[in-house]
Chains A and B, each alone.
Chain A
């Protein structure tokens, strides 16, 4: 069965430092997608970055990069040069690609609350 694990319930980081949020996953499907979403205190879910299981290179979007280690089944999010506005909950998520309807389900981890100190 699919599973997403985020082992860091909370993190404190100094402004301008880089931060790595951990995520490990478990799936038996060779084809899957990995996502990171940000949820600020206002509550909305903001899509950050996506990595496909067959993508050769790690995904990057501005200050966000995904450290994808397929053999270890990890998909850590790296935020470079953290800013005060990065304070939020961060969710790692996964979708399997097998089957039409199962591709619809995104499984979320329990989240990491990131707090940036000025």
Chain B
């Protein structure tokens, strides 16, 4: 049973470009969560999605960031016009129910030059 998959594992972008981060949840999991980890800090919740629905985006910056979890395919976290402060590790987690344990993917390390 494959775990949570994230790609790419490392992503380098120049300021102003767009970053697309993908997350495929574990088999049987329909709840997806995105977290951001700045260097030497804990993870911070960004957004919680179910298939085709954003349930809670209270941790998402109001501008430039968006997330989706379409009926088919992976969940996408999209960052437009990236800035240096967006450099971080972005983790996706999934669970079967929203109250279940969340299992994390390996993360995508975004570096903005």
Contacts and interface: CB of A to CB of B under 8 A. Distances in A.
A107 B55 CA distance: 17
A103 interface: yes
A44 to B, nearest CB: 5
A116 interface: no
B33 interface: yes
Contacts of A106: 33, 35, 43, 45, 102
A93 B107 CA distance: 18
A108 B103 contact: no
A43 B109 contact: yes
Interface in A69-84: none
B69 interface: no
Interface string A25-60: 000000001010100001111110010000000000
B55 A101 contact: yes
Chain B interface extent, by class? 20 to 34
A20 interface: no
A67 to B, nearest CB: 19
B107 A44 contact: yes
A68 interface: no
A35 B48 CA distance: 18
Given A43-B106, A45-B107, A105-B56, A110 B42 contact: yes
Interface string B86-113: 0001010100001101111111010000
A14 interface: no
A47 B55 contact: no
A104 B56 contact: yes
A91 B59 CA distance: 19
Contact of B107 (A35, A37, A43, A101): A43
Contacts of A91: 42-43
B41 interface: yes
Contacts of B44: 108
B90 to A, nearest CB: 11
Q: List the 5 closest A-B pairs by CB distance, nearest first.
A: A108-B42, A45-B104, A104-B48, A101-B56, A44-B106
